[in-house]
Amino acid sequence: MKYYVNDSCIGCGLCAGTCPEVFSMSDSGVAVAIEAEVPAKVLDSAAEAHEGCPVGAIEEV
């Protein structure tokens, strides 16, 4: 399981707050996801971030 942040991200920061192990804010103000597989111990919080994105910018890869 991996996640990808698409171009519709509005930079609200919610995902990085919910699951900082996977999502972080880039210098350009939008979120990025780690390229590696999501660690098992943060699968739940990563899924919560996925579902909580207000613009649906987080995609499963």
The residues that touch ligand SF4, with contacts defined as CB under 6 A, are 5, 9-15, 31, 53-55, 57-58
CB of 39 to ligand SF4, least distance (A): 18
CB of 15 to ligand SF4, least distance (A): 3
CB of 9 to ligand SF4, least distance (A): 3
Question: Contact, 19 vs 53, CB < 8 A?
Answer: no
